[in-house]
Amino acid sequence: MLKCELGIGSNENNSKVKTSSYLKKIDMFKLSADLPDLDGSKGLQNEIWERGNFSANSQKQDLKNPAITLRKYVSHHPSPICFEKHYREYMVASLPHLEVLDNLPVTKIDRLTAKTTSRKYFEYLPYKRQPKESVVDILHKREMGGSKARNQKMSMPKQLHPYHHNQLFFSRSLCAAKLGSSEWPHLSPVSNFREKFKQECKRPRPRQFEYHPSDPSLMVFGTLSGEVIVINHESGRTVSYIPSMGAMSSVLGLCWLKKYPSKLIAGSDNGSLKLFDIKHTPQELAESNWGSSNVTFSSFEQLTSLHVNSTDDKFLASGYSKNVALYDIDSEKRLQLFSNIHREPINVAKFAHHSPHLFATSSFDRDVKMWDLRQNPLQPCYTSSSSRGNVMVCFSPDDMSLLVSAVDNEVKQLSAADGRLLMTLEIASTGSAYNYTRSYYMNGGDYIISGSCDEHVIRICCSQTGKRLRDVYLEDFETGNSMFVQSLRSDPFRDFNLSVLAASTRPSSKWEIIKVNMLASSNSQEQEAIFF
């Protein structure tokens, strides 16, 4: 089950919300004074209490005053969104006919303040589209060529609308209109594999996954047991199955080759590195000579990530060490080991999308470094530091920016050219040193999706302004318990679609890949998408 807490104001409720009859009967003075302060109203509540003499007569007098009674009541079971900064302002601005929120009356001053605050920190609709347009209107303008006149009237800075004259403008406009009309996102598990692998009498638990770079229907995932499984995530059909080799080990690194779409490289935490061709691997678990078509590279101990460059001739491996290894795919040899390039373990090493020579590394030593293979990496091009240990880094689709995620929701964008800080996302910290945060670009770099392993929320923010668009909360389908974000990826072929690797808490320790379609309602039976 999934909840999307932000963005519910897209469908305005014209009915007025009144105080529940329960509050008229409840004895407000029996409530504990230690209830959580959801929106800063506790100070106001205490002030009201201090002004009274707390006699029996004054208590009766207060109970006759609804305003005072409401301010003394705080819910025992608040939604997670209640603890988000600017939560009250967002809800008041999104629901213009709201009269009471969290049992506090909404005043005219509240509405004015909420409107200003909401515009500053949140996006009401994607791509800063202030007027809400229907899908029919957008299709009509596409056929009549009437988009430019509408755009000229919009008082938005030109740099915030790079797609006005782009062939993707109409598809993005349709997605914006579709997202604005969707109440709750539609989600579904990628597949249930218990029926596929009865011989094993188990359900494979995914540990890492990647979309295929050219086939919209394919996805590969590696399991905690060392298996590599390629599936058609649209139909749930297994395309290829590669059982674990040797000792049990988790698959932590996966990367497709772009020029050879049937090939992928997989790496395990025991250091194993192999290249597979899915054309020569079986679809189901069975005895076969599948191993004859794979290529084995020299191992890289304590591996945590790998990444292939844009020309498919080299790849990097990094792990729980201070070293990065460079491999040549054609010769199947390790070319070089860059030793001690960080002071602490290197979590991720990523090549640029368009240059086969540039790559970035992120480390728990709080540094992110840019490297150039043409300079025989002895010195980085530059170093940029975070206030906490870095969990990951990735390039924007145009290679103009670096997205850096540090421990406990420290997410920022840097200029890929010189490491300058471009923007920091305002995401609240939890105080946990083990809340590992991961972030990726979505919709061609327009938005950022971010999630952390100690939280069950996915945050979607604008990559240009940092404003929050949506928060999506995850729950287990079967138990209703929270599921925590271990990894996530945006769908490269569908706007506002993504997948999340989520894990539930003990004792089940369930791992599941969940697809999120923000353009379809959770009430729909089938996922919807827009293709061009």
Query: Domain locations in the chain?
Result: 81-95+106-122, 189-201+251-283+291-521
Q: Considering only 37-46, 375-384, 417-426, which range has the smallest mean pLDDT?
A: 37-46
pLDDT of residue 523: 62
Cβ–Cβ contacts within 10 Å for residue 291, how many?
14
Residues with Cβ < 8 Å from 438, sequence gap 6 or more? Answer: 391, 392, 405, 450, 451, 452, 485, 487, 488
Q: How far is CA 4 from CA 103, 335, 368, 471, in A?
A: 22, 47, 32, 6
Residues with Cβ < 8 Å from 289, sequence gap 6 or more? Answer: none
Rg of the chain (C-alpha set): 26
pLDDT of residue 167: 59
- Going by C-alpha positions, the residue among 344, 338, 389 that lies closest to residue 359 is 338
Q: Considering only 13-22, 207-216, 329-338, 382-391, which range has the smallest mean pLDDT?
A: 13-22
Task: DSSP letter for 523, please.
Answer: T
Q: Mean pLDDT over residues 208-212, rounded?
A: 96
Q: Mean pLDDT over residues 39-63, rounded?
A: 43
- The answer to whether 252 and 269 have CB atoms below 8 angstroms apart is yes
| The two structure tokens encoding residue 525 | 């039976």
Task: DSSP letter for 505, please.
Answer: P
Give the span between the Cα atoms of 35 and 328, in whole angstroms. Answer: 60
Give the span between the Cα atoms of 71 and 58, in whole angstroms. Answer: 16
Give the span between the Cα atoms of 452 and 435, in whole angstroms. Answer: 6
pLDDT of residue 425: 94
Tell me whether residue 279 is exposed, middle or buried, using C-beta atoms within 10 angstroms of its C-beta: 0 to 12, 13 to 18, 19 or more: exposed
At which residue do the structure tokens 């935490």 appear? 269
Contacts 24+ apart (CB under 8 A), 353-360: 353/310, 353/395, 353/397, 353/398, 353/399, 354/310, 354/398, 354/399, 355/310, 355/399, 356/309, 356/310, 356/311, 356/313, 356/314, 357/309, 358/399, 359/307, 359/309, 359/316, 360/393, 360/395, 360/402, 360/416
For the structural domain made of 189-201+251-283+291-521, what CATH number should be given?
2.130.10.10
pTM of the model as a whole: 0.76
pLDDT of residue 67: 43
Q: Give 306's pLDDT tier (boundaries 50, 70, 90).
A: very high
Q: What are the counts of helices (DSSP H) followed by strands (DSSP E) for the chain?
A: 9, 31
- Going by C-alpha positions, the residue among 393, 382, 452 that lies closest to residue 420 is 382
Looking at this protein, which amino acid is placed at residue 63? L
